[in-house]
Amino acid sequence: MPELDAIFQQAHRQRTQGEPLERLIDLLPQRGYGRNEVTRKDKYVEFYQGRAYDGKTLDVMTMAFQALFGSSITEVRPRRF
């Protein structure tokens, strides 16, 4: 599904334009993220959804499909408070 992934990548770039990369460990210190794990947080339900891997986000599409096909994002990961 490379074409579908490209749509999600483009949407993420548009949503997060101007958003700085932030370390997940700073945003969610209780979760045990590594110092090198970064995200562009935007207004996603979960900061992790905007996580960047060498300039590409892999979790935007997968987490959207989790919600569509029966497992809510908040069931997979507790709320961030």
Residue 13 lies in a domain: yes
Distance between CA atoms of 13 and 64, rounded to whole angstroms? 16
Q: How many domains does the chain have?
A: 1
Residue 47 lies in a domain: yes
In three-state secondary structure terms, 78 is: coil
With a cut of 70, say whether residue 80 has pLDDT above it: no
Residue 68 lies in a domain: yes
Domain that holds residue 24: 2-76
Residue 26 lies in a domain: yes
- pLDDT 10s digits, 14-44: 989 999 999 999 999 998 999 999 999 888 8
Residue 57 lies in a domain: yes
Distance between CA atoms of 6 and 18, rounded to whole angstroms? 20
- pLDDT 10s digits, 63-76: 888 878 876 555 55
Distance between CA atoms of 27 and 33, rounded to whole angstroms? 10
Residue 81 lies in a domain: no
